[in-house]
Amino acid sequence: MRAVVLERFGGPLVLAQVKDPVPGPGQVLVRVRASGVNPLDTKIRAGGAAHAQSRLPAVLGLDLAGVVEETGPDVTGFAPGDEVYGLTGGVGALQGSLAEFAAVDARLLAPKPASLTPREAAALPLVVVTAWEGLVDRAGVHAGQKVLVHGGAGGIGHVAVQIARARGAEVFATGSAASLDAIRRLGATAIDYTATAVEDYVAEHTGGEGFDIVFDTVGGATLDASFAAVRTYTGHVVSALGWGSHSLAPLSFRGATYSGVFTLLPMLTGRGREHHGDILREAAALADEGALKPLLDPRHFTFSTVMDAHAAVESGTAEGKVVIDVEE
């Protein structure tokens, strides 16, 4: 089969012929239709994502949407011809989705949302699992809460806004001036973080009490800002990018709590993979109810232009999630 292969960190992605995968016990062979591109994919290619534990030569691509071609032993719930999507590979020793076929753990898959195209479905898995683990699993978001999403127009952020709203929360989201209209279209109150200090938007939108949940999708100084924006006593901060060194004093002085999200853990350890499939089923239901839809970059990339797709993500010029069409 054809696949895009990374032979050395920092090098180009190369189109090559590789051996067809064969599904083992508990695996499903998927004919890949579309592969989502995430910032993590570009960091792995550059050799800057040691936590992904990628082994060379590697086929990258975390997200996929496709059709079940064959099921291995001990697989139930899927049959040839089923349309599926999932966060299935591209880290550790797991083959990624930049290939015509992928043999993947059936626990990581879910039926594709009927209302979404393969391109739209391939844009969702990593970001929707991350957002769900943060907002639902860690913070227990529910109706009546005020939720602040940092980076509300970004890959994780725009999905987090939609999940929080679907669960009844009042949602606010930070972004640059250029992203505020996109945030408003998602149904959140937009906050220009470049023009408004943390204490000012906390005072304006919460009467100085702080937000019930603050979801940080940016990291760095934004995580520190999250500690200052959360509600006293009962507030909860969640971060998908808890890198670096941070003082917990502002959080402790508010009596609030913190959780981190490491979405790759089930893929790297093999533990808890069923939950990823469960989340994707919940997300599919939201999508089919009209409550969840990814923002897609309008450009169409293929195997021959995969480096252009990565460049679009790295440069920050993409207008929504970048997706590679595997079936040209």
The span from the CA of 171 to the CA of 214, in Å, is: 10
Q: What is the pLDDT of residue 243?
A: 82
Residue 267: its pLDDT value, please? 97
Neighbouring C-beta atoms of residue 18, cutoff 10 Å: 16
Q: Is residue 242 predicted with pLDDT exceeding 90? A: no
Q: What is the pLDDT of residues 273-322, one digit of tens each?
A: 999 999 999 999 999 999 999 999 999 999 999 999 999 999 988 889 99
Measured distance CA(255)–CA(233) in Å, rounded: 4
Residue 30: left (phi > 0), alpha (psi -120 to 50), or beta? beta
pLDDT of residue 317: 84
SS (H, E, C) the chain: CEEEEECCCCCCEEEEECCCCCCCCCEEEEEEEEEEECHHHHHHHHCCCHHHCCCCCEECCCEEEEEEEEECCCCCCCCCCCEEEEECCCCCCCCCCCECEEEEEHHHEEECCCCCCHHHHHCCHHHHHHHHHHHHHHCCCCCCCEEEEECCCCHHHHHHHHHHHHCCCEEEEEECHHHHHHHHHCCCEEEECCCCCHHHHHHHHHCCCCECEEEECCCCHHHHHHHHHECCCCCEEEECCCCCCCCCHHHHHCCCEEEECCCCHHHHHCCCHHHHHHHHHHHHHHHHCCCCCCCECCCCECHHHHHHHHHHHHHCCCCCEEEEECCC
Question: pLDDT > 90: what percent of the chain?
Answer: 96
| Average pLDDT taken over every residue of the chain | 96
pLDDT at 271 over 80: yes
Please determine, for residue 328, whether its predicted confidence score (pLDDT) is greater than 80. no
pTM: 0.97
d(CA 20, CA 99): 10
Residue 82: phi, psi to the nearest 5?
A: -70, 135
Pick the closest to residue 149 from 136, 138, 135 (CA basis).
135
As a whole number of Å, the end-to-end CA separation of the chain is: 14
Classify residue 29 as exposed, middle or buried by CB count within 10 Å of its CB (0-12, 13-18, 19+): buried
323: which residues sit within 8 A by CB, 6+ positions away? 34, 35, 36, 37, 119, 122, 123, 296, 297, 301
What is the model's pLDDT at position 161?
98
For residue range 54-79, what is the model confidence (pLDDT) as tens digits? 999 999 999 999 999 999 999 999 99
pLDDT tens per residue, range 102-159: 999 999 999 999 999 999 999 999 999 999 999 999 999 999 999 999 999 999 999 9
Whole-angstrom CA distances from 56 to 44, 60, 229 are 11, 10, 42
Phi/psi at 122 (5° precision): -70, -15
pLDDT at 143: 98
| 114 CA to centre of own chain | 20
Let me know the angle formed at the C-alpha of 43 by 38 and 48, rounded to the nearest 5 degrees: 155
